[in-house]
Amino acid sequence: MKVTYKHILLSLAVLAPFSGQANPKRALNDKVILHAWSWSFDTIAENMKLIADSGYDYVQTSPANTCFVGEGGGLALYSQPGDSVRGKWYYYYQPTDWKIGNYLLGSRDSFKAMCDSAYKYNVKVLVDVLPNHTAVDHNAVLPSLDAAVGGHENLFHGNGFIDITDYNDRLQCTTGKMGGLPDVNTENPDFQYYYMQYVNDLINLGARGFRYDTAKHIGLPSDPLDPKAKRNNFWDVATGREGVKGLSLLMPDSLFIYGEVLQDRNVKEAEYAEYMGLTASSYGHALRSVLNAHDFDAENLNDWHHPAPADQLVTWVESHDTYCNEHASAGMDDDLVRMGWVFLAARNGGTPLFYSRPAGSTRENYWGNNRVGARGNDEFFHREVVAVNEFRKEMSGEPDVIKGINDGRVIVVERGNKGLAIINISDSKQKVKFQVNLPDGVYHDRVYNTECVVKKGVMTTTLPARTSFLVY
């Protein structure tokens, strides 16, 4: 085997005790993430130049771990009875081992090639990781994983096969079985050691951050202990604050880490925020309410609806869960979702994540062409999306002021006196006239080259339905 710098890094991580402490992971206020949901590693690599040219700084993959092979290994996103191709997208969320590569998304070599392509185009790879549970069929767990933790029974919490009945009970939430998925004993040092080898392998191949799935189901130091646990220290190990059995997280201060901590009663967002960035799920819900009502005043979008500061939030219009599981956002037209994206990306604060919907999807057929591995639809490089991704970088550091005009049918995001976004969320053309901080003059928006006139501090222009302008 050829010895490389990355191999040396991994060897040092395995052999050397950890010293020092990582800082809390902050969101990236001029960056944007493309969630290449269910794209294969090869597909992501093939589209890396387009991803970079479209203004994305990070591309987030679906889980890379060894997973349960369901329905004969079919590659449908979501098969229905009678479909010729079987399969379900969520099988990669059912680990049977923590090694790189699975039948849905690609091999370890494909993952490495994707990361090499990302490096070439100055894009960073985020990997969706899920240490919280195994496959529903826990007997499908591979012998190597069982052996690493000292036997199959040591892989799970004492409560790991007891269904959660109250998600606001922290002991149940962090140690019980969720949705039929047996709960892993994430506090077992043998499991932590095995899992961190997987994480460091991902880093060695080029990953530069992680999204922790079901993060609120993994206990914090203040949470009650499972009968098998001595300390709730998983997050200290996973974010590099401490090592386990001589192994520590590689490059902790160079990684972007955030957790899926869906908001609800009795969720300790502030304590989770001490370790990583967090998903702003309530803000996404509020934004969708505004978009669906075509009324800025339908919800308060000035409030981030989260106890953590904006610079620790990952924001979205929709996530793969709101699209696939709850279908809470799947009925929204692409152009309405795009207006929400322009709003989020134009703002100062948070790190927006763009969910790539399936290719060919419609509001009647959410799964579209229905194939895992394929590229999503073309929305991620729509001209308005690309333009606002660039706008976000141009406006970096400028404070924002947001407001609704035209009875809430149009949203304005003003960034200091440097530029602004105008977003028509209505189904009709809107003539707008409003005060701005831009100097007087004739401007042309950066998307459609439409004339926008500022005279005596007042801008006038006309926007087609469900269209955004960027002026600076």
Known catalytic residues? 213, 260
> Using CB atoms within 10 A of its CB, is residue 23 exposed (0-12), middle (13-18) or buried (19+)?
exposed
Amino acid at 46: E
CB of 348 closer than 8 Å to CB of 395: yes
DSSP string, 149-211: TTSGGGGB-TTTTSBPS-TTSHHHHHHSBBTTBPBB-TT-HHHHHHHHHHHHHHHHHTEEEEE
416: left (phi over 0), alpha (psi -120 to 50) or beta: left
- Residue 429: how many other CB atoms lie within 10 Å: 11
CB of 434 closer than 8 Å to CB of 405: yes
CA neighbor of 438 nearest in space, from 415, 456, 418: 418
> Using CB atoms within 10 A of its CB, is residue 415 exposed (0-12), middle (13-18) or buried (19+)?
buried
Q: Label the pairing between strands 207-212 and 313-315.
A: unpaired
The secondary structure element, H or E, covering residue 459 is strand 458-463
Residue with tokens 């009663």: 265
Residue with tokens 């080029």: 206
Residues 6 or more apart whose Cβ sits within 8 Å of residue 366: 323, 324, 327, 330, 358
Q: What is the DSSP letter of 361?
A: -
Token output for 331: 């009925």
| Intra-chain end-to-end CA distance of the chain, in Å | 53
Query: What angle is formed at CA 128 by the lines to CA 311 and CA 237, rounded to 5 degrees?
Result: 75
CB burial string 155-180: b at 16+ within 10 A, e below: bbbebbeeebeebeebebbbbbbbee
3-state secondary structure 47-114: CHHHHHHCCCCEEEECCCEEECCCHHHCCCCECCCCCCCCCEHHHHHCEEEEEECECCCECHHHHHHH
Residue with tokens 């549970």: 133
CB of 437 closer than 8 Å to CB of 416: yes
